[in-house]
Amino acid sequence: MSHHKYIIIGAGPTGLGAAYRLKELGVEDFTVLEKEPTAGGLSTSFVDDMGFTWDIGGHVQFSHYKYFDDLMMKALGEDGWLNHQRESWVWIRDRFVPYPFQNNIRCLPKEEMWQCLQGLIKEYKSASYPKPANFREWIIATLGQGIADVFMIPYNFKVWAFPPEMMSYTWIGERVAIADLEKVSKNILFDIEDVSWGPNSTFQFPKYGGTGAIWLSVAKMIGHDKFRFGSHVETIDEKTKTIYCADGSTHTYDKLINTMPMDILVHKLKHGNDAHKEVVKLLKHSTTHIIGVGLKGKPAPDLETKCWMYFPEDNCPFYRVTVFSNYSPNNVPDINQHWSLMAEVSQSECKPVNADTIVEETIQGMLNTKLIESREDIISVWYKSLDYGYPTPSTDRDKAINKVVPELDKLDIYSRGRFGGWKYEVSNQDHSLMQGVEIVNKLELGINEITFPFPATANAMWGK
């Protein structure tokens, strides 16, 4: 049995952020328990048998925090990054429309352009603005029925795998562009392409090793002796502060920083509160399927500079595809001979997916949407499924979080991170790392957290 002042469960960005900050503060009495054989969590990268590098999701690096930016430079060095101007597009009606869609409806067939514009005009003319009850109502009240029907509702169902009426809209913040009738009308009249919106209009990406290279480097800076890889937590006795792992090892702690999914954590507590077990059933999440397709040759001219694309229609199973070879030439074996596409497909009880056929459906979808010309160009296919892909900002989410988290804090269990805290609006890599850093600052220095308790404040710091 080992004892530590701090035990951290999970070596993803949040766990690594906590561990790095402890080390930075001179606190050496900690260990990180990670069930996988390496660090990275949901930001791990893989190299397939053909030499193509893949991330588990379309990760890009942009930040709200100087601390995060400084650490990224320490992790890979200034020469370890490639900088990109975002090019994101929507494939709809057999054409590419610049993102955000709502600012670029001028690209649609005239009938649908008018349908979208008319819906927006009607909302502007509306005399009453009742508070929306859910995300669907927010979409219609903010963007109009036309944009809702043509793009927002079908696309968001494909992304989240839950109908928008089951979701809250409080997470939106900087993540959804608000349509401006004046701007949209000007774009139509003067044929203006509006593509600069959003916090990730520029981003950086590792030159080598995919996103996972960042977190392997951070783990190395922390020190390999601080990690116990392959340690799957089975039970936590919150009264004796003892963790029991599947390999037979036991660990005691003074304080526990958890990054495993909150619902799983609650069910691992030996003396768990039945009311908590019931309320975490309100927490919803989607499964993510990632399909990487390695290709010979070069991308078509209209894909040469694109970063990622959104797909709202039913002719393909994926909601997003990244031209992953555009992020770094080293993501493929030989950039002069190869290129790559990475697709993401969501799943939930509301949107089933057949794991046995999803790769074939994805390839057919790439043919249907003209991303690839022939199956003969495919030389490698990589597939990974994540049961916990995205935490869903459902209408009942905050009820569960606000009930469980304060009680866990009282037990010296601090659950933070993408699924540890379950707040999608602060679950990017920078947010996740800073949740780990900030909980350590609170426990060691008495500095109040910002990112986890106040997502809107954290996101408002972007660019400051």
Q: List pLDDT tens digits, range 37-49.
A: 999 999 999 999 9
Q: Any idea which of 117-131, 214-228, 368-382, 423-437 has the lowest mean pLDDT?
A: 117-131
pLDDT confidence tier of residue 464, bands split at 50, 70 and 90: very low
* Cα–Cα distance for residue pair 417/423, rounded to 1 Å: 8
Judge contact between 47 and 53, C-beta under 8 A.
yes
**What global pTM score does this model have?**
0.94
Q: Does residue 404 sit in the same domain as residue 443?
A: yes
Query: Does the residue 23 lie in any domain?
Result: yes
* Cα–Cα distance for residue pair 32/74, rounded to 1 Å: 21
List the domain range (segments joined by +) for residue 140.
101-190
Query: In percent, how much of the chain has pLDDT > 70?
Result: 96
Residue 198 predicted with pLDDT over 60: no
Query: Does the residue 380 lie in any domain?
Result: no
Q: Does residue 171 sit in the same domain as residue 238?
A: no
Query: Does the residue 267 lie in any domain?
Result: yes
Query: Does the residue 341 lie in any domain?
Result: no
Query: Does the residue 338 lie in any domain?
Result: no
Look at residue 445 in the predicted model and tell me its pLDDT: 98
Residue 332 predicted with pLDDT over 80: yes
Look at residue 463 in the predicted model and tell me its pLDDT: 45
Q: Does residue 186 sit in the same domain as residue 229?
A: no
Question: 335-393 pLDDT, tens per residue?
Answer: 999 999 999 999 999 999 999 999 999 999 999 999 999 999 999 999 999 999 999 99
SS3 34: strand
Residue whose structure tokens are 């392997």: 216
Q: Does residue 112 sit in the same domain as residue 160?
A: yes
Q: Is the CA virtual torsion 443, 444, 446, 452 positive or negative?
A: negative
Look at residue 310 in the predicted model and tell me its pLDDT: 97
Which of the two residues, 354 and 173, has the higher pLDDT score?
354
Q: Does residue 178 sit in the same domain as residue 215?
A: no
- Cα dihedral: 144, 145, 149, 154 (round 10): 60
Look at residue 176 in the predicted model and tell me its pLDDT: 65
Q: Does residue 186 sit in the same domain as residue 213?
A: no
pLDDT confidence tier of residue 145, bands split at 50, 70 and 90: very high
Query: Does the residue 134 lie in any domain?
Result: yes
Instruction: Give me the helix-helix angle, 110-125 and 135-147, nearest 10°.
Output: 130
List helix spans (H) across 245-357.
262-268, 274-279, 324-327
Q: Does residue 279 sit in the same domain as residue 407?
A: yes
* Cα–Cα distance for residue pair 101/25, rounded to 1 Å: 46
- Cα angle 423-429-435, degrees, rounded to a multiple of 5: 55
Q: Does residue 174 sit in the same domain as residue 237?
A: no
What are the beta bridge partners of residue 229? 34
CATH of the domain at 434: 3.50.50.60
What are the beta bridge partners of residue 287? 347
User: What's the domain count of the chain?
Assistant: 2
Which of the two residues, 191 and 315, has the higher pLDDT score?
315
Longest pairwise C-alpha distance within the chain: 71
